[in-house]
Amino acid sequence: MTTPAQTDVAIIGGGPVGLATALSLESAGLSVTVLERAPRAVWAEPSFDGREIALTHHAVHTLQKNGAWDYIPESAICPLREARVETGKFPHPLRFDTNGQGVDALGWLVSNSHIRRALFAAAAERPRITLLDSTSVETVRQNPAEAVVHHSHGQTAAQLVVGADGRFSPTRRRAGIGAIIHDFKRSMLVCRMAHESPHHNVATQWFDEGQTVALLPVNGMASSIVLTLPRDDIQRLLDMPRDVFNQEIMQRVGNRLGQMRLVSTRHAYPLKGVYAHRFAARRLALVGDAAVGMHPITAHGFNLGLRGQETLATEVAKAFSTVGDAGDARALRRFERQHRLITAPLFAGTNGIATLYTHDGAPFRQLRQAGIRLADSFTPFKNAVTALLMDREVQPPKAS
């Protein structure tokens, strides 16, 4: 038998939340091994995948604290000045901005590929982080004293295994942890388009009849287009010629940004929300989408993932320093309890909003219009939502 390599924590999945978890735990003095299926070249230099991440103030502070923010070029960071919610042709949008907040941005939009690249670069510099690329996990044996991960390069023994391998997490499944899976029976197309009219750093979420459109500003005269439609319609858009695609997108967004042209690859993702029945088991914790995979309507999925890994790292670090065990069951229970308190209301509320705003029957349209009118006139509600969007517990960071 091969003697397993020893580490304090083994993380399965080297995506952005997995790498952020590694950085947080390493900063607390633990040794961490990250196991990732992708080859190192792809892991270190991920290609554009269409997704723009709306980072809150807290999320950017976290990326600054773990050293990743310095690796994101300033030209790739777009401040978000205002967010609007619209429904159909109802002429009264719901607006959120920073007036009275003492800052000039609700948050910052950064491409997912830039975030992944920055987190990998930061992790690669840490002496107590081992990055294992091209690694397929076969089994995880959770023993009372340690967990052993059997993978394509051998075995890794750890006090704690962290599953950070996505919303359809094999790690979660191997541990026998079920999940609520909400299939919205839609797909989301994302791409970047240049346009002739300025976006003024305003993000728009538009619930139109038969479709949902998000226009997310990026630096320059360009925006990320997020279009939600039935799966067959998304596939048709993926396959159509660029010039025909440009014309259809202009029509779908109501020509509000003038002439538009595709300047990136097109990508599609199925819309499924996931909420794990448990976030922890014996010597195991789930973070990111493996724990909670949010509908993108609130743009809070990655931010919640960062919150979750931060909570986990805090509890694990306490246990490691006091009882010498990163997989201490009491610490994992505290992590689970705290993360569930934060995520359960957001998951349920987001699914409810998504259901209300994607049905086109007359009662739903009338409810949406009435809700937007009422919400826009109720200042305490707008202030509460603005605070949620910003997640501002710390001073806003400056782009490097």
Here the CATH number for the domain that contains residue 151 is 3.50.50.60
Determine contact, residues 320/8, Cβ cutoff 8 Å.
Answer: yes
CA atoms within 13 A on the CB side of 62: 30
Residue 157 lies in a domain: yes
Residue 288 lies in a domain: yes
Structural domain tally of the chain? 1
271: left (phi over 0), alpha (psi -120 to 50) or beta: beta
Residue-level pLDDT, tens digit, the chain, 400 residues: 578 999 999 999 999 999 999 999 999 999 999 999 999 999 999 999 999 999 999 999 999 999 999 999 999 999 999 988 887 665 567 777 877 666 788 899 999 999 999 999 999 999 999 999 999 999 999 999 999 999 999 999 999 999 999 999 999 999 999 999 988 888 999 999 999 999 999 999 888 888 889 999 999 999 999 999 999 999 999 999 999 999 999 999 999 999 999 999 999 999 888 999 999 999 999 999 999 998 776 567 899 999 999 999 999 999 999 999 999 999 999 999 999 998 888 777 666 665 555 555 555 455 555 555 554 554 554 455 555 555 665 444 444 3
Q: Could you tell me which residues are beta bridge partners of residue 82? A: 97, 202
Residue 311 lies in a domain: yes
Residue 243 lies in a domain: no
pLDDT at 102: 65
pLDDT at 345: 80
pLDDT at 15: 97
Residue 187 lies in a domain: no
Residue 296 lies in a domain: yes
pLDDT at 65: 96
pLDDT at 397: 42
Residue 211 lies in a domain: no
Domain span at 21: 5-81+108-181+273-366
Residue 372 lies in a domain: no
